[in-house]
Amino acid sequence: MLKYNFINNLFNLKDVSIKNIVNSDDRIEIYTETKKKPHICPKYESITSKVHNYRTRQIKDTPIQGKKLSLSLKNVDMFVNLAVNLSLKI
């Protein structure tokens, strides 16, 4: 895990943590995850810490050292409680 901290610091990654790096003969795969933190709902302007679901996005990048590069980003979607938010707006 220490080597992943070094990579986070090197690229100034604040809200993303690197979980694993797989370096095979023909490809490099980097597995990352966004850190959970309270978010503000852009529509209702309330703060939430509840996780609604996780989504994994596959991102392909330009090759490095003749190897295909792919990034797997596990993103957190947050839950917004509409009943609480609607009562605040009324």
Query: What integer best gives the mean pLDDT of the chain?
Result: 77
pLDDT at 23: 92
User: Which residues have a Cβ under 8 Å from the Cβ of 6 and sit 6 or more positions away?
Assistant: none
pLDDT at 42 over 80: no
Give the closest residue to 81 by CA, choosing from 50, 54, 39, 35: 50
* Residue that wins the pLDDT comparison between 62 and 42: 62
* Residue that wins the pLDDT comparison between 83 and 47: 47
61 by DSSP, 3-state: which?
Answer: strand
Burial of 71 (0-12, 13-18, 19+ CB in 10 A): middle
* pTM score of the predicted model: 0.65
65 φψ region: left (φ > 0), alpha (ψ -120 to 50), beta (else): left
* Residue that wins the pLDDT comparison between 24 and 44: 24
Which whole number is the average pLDDT over 58-64? 90
